Structure 1
């Protein structure tokens, strides 16, 4: 018999193996970060927690589609999510069947984490994912059903010289393979011998290798990953997004998938990449929550009565952190641009904020004078 080209052609597929000792440091780090994140998130007040969850879910949907090269209408998706989460003030933008379907899929995957993953549930997710098909597609997508008999390949390059990066298992027997995955996914949820984070990584790799649909396999794979992570944490509220970290290393993502899908059933390299990416997601979330808590503490210590709306707007932008151009504080010209006031008014507002103890001047002076929040 020829040497197997694809991992699913290995005789003991899908009996995955990995080196636990190699993965142990990364796994411990992710577990510790996960614990810290859940602990810190519990200190966030109700409204801010809902806003934070809305932002996380929105980022997850937008970046998961961006990995596939699709740009979504952010306002429309946000409005669809907000309406479902009860955030009325953010539910004003017009929605579309596309945004409604994506919001439904994301919330089903995260909020219904206690329910089993079935073939019908996957078909529903696929139908929501393609609630609005692109009329420019060469051929319609089989929505809510498995792919057809033609080979499922991931290719690039010229039409006359295509490079086949991956070929999925053939259509014959796909139902059996999918049933085996679903049976494992549902039974492994209670397997004390399998770490829940490794389980999420295995689920991601196994499902994306099956590639059971015409299109949307990557986005459904990441939804399954979100479901597995929600099950690992025993809660529906999301504070971090794997999709954003995958997008940040999209080339690395596709490379490790391709090499792992052409290798043996030892998936240590894939799990190492998966855990490192999860670690990055958790660290990003911890930094965001730090900023939220710092902002809450600031406003507890500094009553905002007597401040002008423009001053409040600028202070909140500074407290939110992560704003491009505000890393080194704010200048009068930056204040002018954010608050939409004249240069003289900006200078007067900044002086008032310094006098009241909200801001302090950084070293330097003249036109380059900058200010940052005084904690």
Structure 2
């Protein structure tokens, strides 16, 4: 008798790989909801002021970079990242930390992925993205000598494992190095051609691209961050705009364990990736809901200043009101009182009392219950 053939252990060992499929009916409700949220976000974002739009874009890009690194257990300096982004976006951001080779590379990568979405993702461009992750001049962190920067991984097996050597668990094993160039070229060709595929929903295309690339695991390190950048690239192509108002990496970071669990479960299955698609849609839905809440708040602040901008407020009053507005509808802890006004505006008690009374008369703020030393104030939000 001939020995029985060992059944495939990994999705890429399936005979039908990489022809992945999913249950469209099972995804229909989630996909419809996500599409509606995406349309609502883009519609609302289109009416906010240019200055607010630029700041929202910067904030979303910043969160994407910081959180995508955090998913891999890497901490980057958020202020340095912000400075690198602001410089490239032509925004003036005072008082930021100096840029580093690392943050410059991270900013360059994400902006190339989201702003140059019309250009095809070639192997050369992908290798450049990998170089952005591991700048040669970066001396701010310890770098493993084994990482082949800007090159595909070596011949040694690529595995993700945990536990002691005698009881280790293999969570993931990538395809063999032999034939990797062919598999990667197949992926890049599909990514280029699928943009015009009317039968493939653009959001599901982004989800498929993310899973396909991270399964190939073509580099020694940085595969997860590049997979998320490829998702952003595909979503930018779907939206036909470079401005970002959401950070999906932040939502993934909130459920980091779930992210790794669904990737592992799907990579150990057959070519039905319905479960991964559903997870991606639910995570994207959370991302869009968070972004909508933020955009709604930006619009609320815009309406507030449309109501009060012509009331002759002095610079100290504007500064305090902006601090209150930035704290959101919940307000900052303890609300506003004369002492806090003095600290924020840098004025004497008598001046703070007079300024607060003027703001009340002009209906910029409202007095909360209580009196005397316990008097508290909050923003008089537009109805």
Give the 5 Å matches for 1:91-170: 93-131=97-135, 132=138, 136-170=142-176
Matches within 5 A, 1:190-205: 190-205=196-211
What is the deviation of 1:147?
0.4
What is the Cα deviation at residue 263 of structure 1?
Answer: 1.3
Kept after mapping to 2: 8 A contact 1:83/1:91: no
- Which stretch of the first structure deviates more once superposed, 357-366 or 169-178? 357-366
Between 302-311 and 193-202, report the one with greater CA deviation: 302-311
Determine if the alignment matches structure 1 residue 53 to structure 2 residue 81. Answer: no
Q: Which whole-Å CA distance do the structure 2 matches of 1:217 and 1:203 have between them?
A: 12
CA deviations on 1:131-155 (whole Å, 9 max, x unpaired) are 1366634434100010011111112
Match of 1:241 in 2: 247
Q: Does 1:226 align with 2:232?
A: yes
Q: Secondary structure at the match of 1:88?
A: coil
How high is the TM-score relative to the length of structure 1?
Answer: 0.92
User: Does structure 1 conserve the Cα–Cα contact (< 8 Å) formed by 2:325 and 2:331?
Assistant: no
Instruction: Give the TM-score of the pair, scaled to structure 2.
Output: 0.91
Displacement of 1:205: 0.6
1:291/1:319 contact within 8 Å kept:
no
Q: Secondary structure at the match of 1:201?
A: helix
CA RMSD, 1 decimal: 2.3
Specify the alignment match of 1:9 in structure 2: 13
2:76 to 72, 77, 87: 72
Instruction: Establish whether residue 358 from structure 1 lines up as the match of residue 353 from structure 2.
Output: no
Q: Which runs of 5+ in 1 are unaligned?
A: none
Moved more, 62-71 or 136-145: 136-145
SS at match of 2:245: coil
User: Which residue is equivalent to 1:268?
Assistant: 274
CA drift at 1:121: 0.6
Specify the alignment match of 2:40 in structure 1. Answer: 36
Q: Deviations over 1:59-86 (max 9, x none)?
A: 1111111111111112211111111111
Call closer, same or farther: CA 1:368–1:191 in 2, change over 3 Å. farther
Contact 1:292 1:320 in 2 (8 A): no
1:271-286 superposed matches below 5 A: 271-286=277-292
Could you tell me whether the CA contact under 8 Å between 2:60 and 2:244 is conserved in 1? yes
Q: Is the 8 A contact 2:184 2:216 kept in 1?
A: yes
Report deviation, 1:21. Answer: 1.1
The question of whether the paired residues in 1 share the 8 Å contact of 2:114 and 2:233 is answered with yes
Gap runs ≥5 in structure 2: none
CA contact (8 A) 2:161 2:170 kept: yes
- In the alignment of these two chains, the number of paired residues is 375
When residues 304 and 160 of structure 1 are mapped into structure 2, their CA distance, relative to the original with a 3 A threshold, is farther
- Deviation larger for 211-220 or 296-305: 296-305
